[in-house]
């Protein structure tokens, strides 16, 4: 399976690959390289979402895409929480290149208020919650509408996570098999 690197100018998005920095729930970089990859179907659907967002006056900020199986294991080892992370044995939609984590930016490049931060593993991160501001509820609904119209499915517990329908039709990939060089020689997230 071929993965597509999400880069400008082919994709008009901003990148903030959180697992390549300390700014993630582990407090440690998980990836050795800040890059975003998707499988070809997901990349096509991202392009459709980019066009819809642009027409509405928005852009995307991407937090994560393809997540090698090594990273799925490292995240699980750090925080084994099945409400927010895939169990390594079952395979994440991310490790299939079939999922993306993102938010909306306004025309000035400012992220819209979504009520919680990315990867806030709390019930307030779930779709449909009403204990966040009305602006955040509206922004989540806007993101959901754009992504759904572009052909994406969503995960109920994470406002930022979108995936292809039936992602298990794609194989899970290690960093080596994908050829992405995402992982550093030693992954410290689980230590």
Cis peptide leading into 9, omega within 30 of 0?
A: yes
Catalytic residue among 70, 117, 158, 191: 158
Question: Is 117 part of the annotated catalytic residue set?
Answer: no
Q: Compute the distance between CA of residue 82 and CA of residue 21 in angstroms, rounded to an integer.
A: 23
What letters, b where the CB count within 10 A reaches 16 and e where it falls short, cover 94-119? Answer: bbbbbbbbbbbbeeeeeebbbbbebb
Question: How many angstroms separate the CA atoms of 93 and 164, rounded?
Answer: 8
Instruction: Extract the tokens encoding 171.
Output: 């194989």
Q: Which residues are catalytic?
A: 158
């Amino acid at each position: 399976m071929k993965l597509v690197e999400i880069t400008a100018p082919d994709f008009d998005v901003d990148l903030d690959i959180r697992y390549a920095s300390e700014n993630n729930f582990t407090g440690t970089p998980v990836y050795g390289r800040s890059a975003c990859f998707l499988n070809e179907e997901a990349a096509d659907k991202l392009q459709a979402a980019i066009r819809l967002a642009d027409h509405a006056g928005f852009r995307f900020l991407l937090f994560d895409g393809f997540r090698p199986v090594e990273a799925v294991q490292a995240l699980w080892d750090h925080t084994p929480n099945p409400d927010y992370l895939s169990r390594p044995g079952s395979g994440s939609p991310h490790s299939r290149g079939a999922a993306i984590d993102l938010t909306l930016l306004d025309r000035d490049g400012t992220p819209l208020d979504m009520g919680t931060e990315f990867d806030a593993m709390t019930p307030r991160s779930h779709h449909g919650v009403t204990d966040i501001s009305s602006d955040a509820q509206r922004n989540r609904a806007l993101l959901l509408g754009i992504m759904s119209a572009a052909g994406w499915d969503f995960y109920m517990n994470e406002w930022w996570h979108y995936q292809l329908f039936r992602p298990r039709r794609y194989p899970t990939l290690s960093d080596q098999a994908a050829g992405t060089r995402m992982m550093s020689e030693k992954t410290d997230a689980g230590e």
